[in-house]
Structure 1
Amino acid sequence: MTQHAIPYVFMRGGTSRGPYFNRADLPEDLDQLAEVLLAVIGSGHKLNIDGIGGGAAVTTKVAMLSRATDNWADVDYFFAQVSVEDRLVDFKPTCGNILSGVGPAALEMGLVEPSGDVTEIKIHAVNTGARVVAKVQTPGGQLDYSGQTEIAGVPGTSAPVALNFMGVVGSSTGAFLPTGNLRDTIDGIEVTCMDVAMPLVIARAADFGLTGYETAEELDANRDFFARMEAIRIKAGAAMGMGDVSKSVTPKFGLLAPAKDGGTIATRYFMPWNTHPTMAVTGAQCLASCALTPGTVSDGLLERPSTGPAEVILEHASGNIDVLVDFSNDDGFTLMSAGLVRTARKLADGHVYVPAEVWMK
């Protein structure tokens, strides 16, 4: 036996894609797990030619599911971001787009049984501790991927997956504003460091000499901007109590500009070493929260609603994403929950193979 077979379901979740595993089928030790996931994805080559990754950060993500270990949830969701080329695996962040496929994948794996025409699944995001309720379409008790819901960045339509996020404030750092400030100035650029679902460093596009409407390709080609952004991100990560983040994908980086296509505010999101082609679900919650919080770098870029719940439409590189935010401004900005609608689709299932020597390390 020269290879080891691992059962998996291959899913598109939101605007990301990757293998979904039963955690019980993978090594417990994180160092060994990282080696297995590197082999699965094919990290170390820009095309992931020796694995099932797709040569982009949105296609080198991994979900690992198990029956919940707490009394609230139905499913534990453990996420890994595998790098395309650098042979790195980051277990710190979570991914809301991949989370869009967790409910359907849990049904596919038999971890949850369908209940009625819509099955409500409570998900515990292990990496950050967030609690998410997913509503999955199961007409007649059968999982159904077909529907008329369209999301920017994905061709065609699919069945909706409604997500309601709770307990996401301070998910990584323990604080809504990890530096204690609504604004910090780093390398001459004003930023807001915020932790809602995903820790972000957020700045105004204009402060970098950008419009905020550039395409992902135009931004990726602007290496001077990326060099400035990365230097700020690393210093901000230290100020946020996250230590040396030079080899971590968190905190992420976001840019804001006034809306130009009828949305609430224009955004660009970085993963962080290239531009997200659309928008991360977790990042969307943080950017929407920043937009709604007085005193942040979003001041002057939008007409801010004073009471919640409010629909925040983020314009991104491929279209729009709507975030329904329930909040209060009675004693400063307080986030109660954030909801989004995404879609997911099963692409394949079976076994993925890794070399026996990798499995035995």
Structure 2
Amino acid sequence: MTQIFIPAVFYRGGSSKGLFFHARHCPRDPAALERMLLSALGSPDPYGRQLDGMGGGTSSLSKAVIIGPPTHPDADVDYTFAQVAVDRPVVDWGANCGNLSSAVGPFAVDEGLVRAADGEALVRIHQVNTKKIIHARFPVRNGKAVTAGDAAVDGVAGTGAPIALDFLDPGGTVTSGLLPTGQVIERVEVDGRIFEMSLVDASNPVAFVAAEDAGLTGSEHPDAIEGNREAMTLLDRLRRAAGVRMGLGSTPDGVGLANPKIAVVSAPAPFVTLDGRTVGREAQDIAIRMLSMERAHRAVTLTGAMCLAVACRIEGSLPHGLCSRDAGTQAIRIGHPSGIVAAGATVFPRGEGWHVESGRVYRTARRLMQGEVAVAPFDGEGKP
């Protein structure tokens, strides 16, 4: 059957890229929608390159966003995120992408979904996957989002206009709470060994494990981590065991690909970034190497950085013990394979637990292409 064409915009948001669709252009049937997204991104691709679609062969480049009218009284738009697997026919709806969140506000303004006067715009975003509210603030000129500016994001070439993202009440996105098990430290058994981990759900659920416990230093490049099959197998088993503890599956095999993420954390140490720069110990407060969709991330997911900043402020947690200073109200400087990202969070004790009021990060975004993307027909009759 002949392919069909769907209006779409291709965006870079932070260190990710993805296809943005209006909800009105997408099929309502969930199965048809997933077929459309898989076709648009070029999945599944056993060669891992997504050459027959818009994906880039890694989890950070195999994403889609659907924007529609708000269904929350405190929002201007609804934002639904889809993580598309590269090598299998899987679309995961269980998480948010913090990086692509930075492009939602500019998309809404540029597409006329939100009117904004010149100056700083505020777009209130209802993140449907996590049922949370995000405030995006960014400059607008002549009714369009400004893209040029001096803000830099490690892992992204060049500079752009700054986009401030405030994640409101980000604890407990897809689990029961900020600390889904109620404990700041969980002892997880895998292969007869006990691993101390912190399981935290802020912006997205993340299972934190110490680098040395995983047989790593915490300063490795992503390719080195992926080449260590023993470590990759261990980290996947730890992630799945943690997912059961967090209520994301009744068995390890029942835990999905997207959540929880697993992050290897370590105390600050000098490392060389992917572009060859040397980052000193004094430039960072904690280091992270994160896995996403069974691949080592070349930077750090924005929601992962936010979750780590929150965890660093929870006394007794694994990240709190590895963080090099008590940052107080200052942003936590996080070392990752592409450089440094700063993430702030307001966290305080409440009752017998902890509460996170908000978290803030800065990103840049740019519209790369607009038009129509070719996809296979949604149904047997070739109709969208």
TM-score normalised by the shorter chain: which range applies? over 0.9
1: CA distance, partners of 2:74 / 2:242:
34
- SS of the aligned residue for 1:76 comes to strand
Normalising by structure 1, we get a TM-score of: 0.95
* Partner of residue 34, structure 1: 34
Quote how far apart the aligned CAs of 1:293 are: 1.1
User: Quick one: which amino acid aligns to residue 66 of structure 1?
Assistant: G
- SS of the aligned residue for 2:113 comes to coil
Quote how far apart the aligned CAs of 1:248 are: 2.5
Percent pairwise identity: 33
- SS of the aligned residue for 1:346 comes to strand
* Partner of residue 259, structure 2: 250
Runs of 4+ off more than 3 Å: 244-247, 329-333, 357-361
* Partner of residue 313, structure 1: 333
Quote how far apart the aligned CAs of 1:162 are: 0.8
> Counterparts in 2 of 1:54-133, with a 5 A limit?
54-133=56-135
* Partner of residue 49, structure 1: 51
2: CA distance, partners of 1:328 / 1:201:
20
* Partner of residue 342, structure 2: 322
2: CA distance, partners of 1:235 / 1:222:
20
Deviations 1:5-62 (CA, angstroms, capped at 9, x unpaired): 1101110011000110001100112111111100000012111121111111111100
Q: CA 1:140–1:270 in 2, change beyond 3 Å: closer, same or farther?
A: same
User: Quick one: which amino acid aligns to residue 18 of structure 1?
Assistant: G
> Counterparts in 2 of 1:129-278, with a 5 A limit?
129-186=131-188, 187=190, 188-243=194-249, 244=251, 245-260=254-269, 261=280, 262-278=283-299
User: Quick one: which amino acid aligns to residue 254 of structure 1?
Assistant: A
2: CA distance, partners of 1:321 / 1:311:
9
Name which of 342, 352, 356 aligns with 1:335. Answer: 356
1: CA distance, partners of 2:319 / 2:51:
41
Deviations 1:130-153 (CA, angstroms, capped at 9, x unpaired): 110001210343322111110000
Name which of 301, 308, 317 aligns with 1:280. Answer: 301
2: CA distance, partners of 1:44 / 1:162:
34
Contact 2:7 2:373 in 1 (8 A): yes
* Partner of residue 315, structure 2: 294
Contact 1:14 1:98 in 2 (8 A): yes
Quote how far apart the aligned CAs of 1:236 are: 1.3
Quote how far apart the aligned CAs of 1:334 are: 2.4
Quote how far apart the aligned CAs of 1:178 are: 1.1
1: CA distance, partners of 2:370 / 2:164:
24
Q: CA 1:96–1:330 in 2, change beyond 3 Å: closer, same or farther?
A: same
2: CA distance, partners of 1:30 / 1:88:
12
Q: CA 1:330–1:30 in 2, change beyond 3 Å: closer, same or farther?
A: closer
Quote how far apart the aligned CAs of 1:109 are: 1.8
Contact 1:291 1:304 in 2 (8 A): no
Quote how far apart the aligned CAs of 1:336 are: 0.9
User: Quick one: which amino acid aligns to residue 250 of structure 1?
Assistant: N
Contact 1:265 1:301 in 2 (8 A): yes
- SS of the aligned residue for 1:120 comes to strand
Name which of 355, 366, 372 aligns with 1:345. Answer: 366
User: Quick one: which amino acid aligns to residue 29 of structure 1?
Assistant: D
Quote how far apart the aligned CAs of 1:298 are: 2.3
2: CA distance, partners of 1:220 / 1:35:
29
Quote how far apart the aligned CAs of 1:306 are: 7.5
Q: List gaps (5 residues or longer) in structure 1.
A: none
Q: CA 1:286–1:357 in 2, change beyond 3 Å: closer, same or farther?
A: closer
| Further displaced range: 246-255 or 156-165 | 246-255
1: CA distance, partners of 2:113 / 2:166:
20
User: Quick one: which amino acid aligns to residue 274 of structure 1?
Assistant: R
2: CA distance, partners of 1:299 / 1:158:
32
Q: CA 1:162–1:4 in 2, change beyond 3 Å: closer, same or farther?
A: same
